[in-house]
Amino acid sequence: MRGQHPTQKPDRLVAEWIRLFSNKGETVLDPFMGSGTTGVAAVRLGRNFVGCEIDPKYYDIACKRIEAALKEEALPEEPERLKA
């Protein structure tokens, strides 16, 4: 789901940050959750996730995206090489 929020970050970029700065089983906090990209990446990578969002519209979008990600198969811990 691209373009759900005006400042949405690329999924692969956020996943790379989470891989670099956390370990499986740890908790990722996103105090400005937006459309939930960080939450989706976190749960796909085996992290716990806590997020906050003030806008009910984006909160609902984020919750739906994260719930869907929880039903998917986890991503591998080793990142794919990003191409420039």
8 A C-beta contact, residue 62 and residue 53: yes
Give the number of other CB atoms < 10 A from CB of residue 68: 13
Please spell the DSSP secondary structure of 4-68, one letter per residue: SSTTPPPHHHHHHHHHHH--TT-EEEESS-TTSHHHHHHHHTT-EEEE--S-HHHHHHHHHHHHH
Q: Is residue 80 part of a domain?
A: no
In a domain, residue 32? The reply is yes
- Whole-number pLDDT of residue 8: 75
**13 belongs to a structural domain:** no
pLDDT per position as a tens digit, 36-59: 999 999 999 999 999 999 999 999
Domain count along the chain = 1
| Domain presence at residue 76 | no
Q: Is residue 43 part of a domain?
A: yes
What is this structure's pTM? Answer: 0.80
Mean pLDDT of the chain: 88
Q: Is residue 29 part of a domain?
A: yes
Q: What is the domain range of residue 41?
A: 25-70
d(CA 70, CA 52): 18
48 belongs to a structural domain: yes
- pLDDT tens, position by position, 22-39: 999 999 999 999 999 999
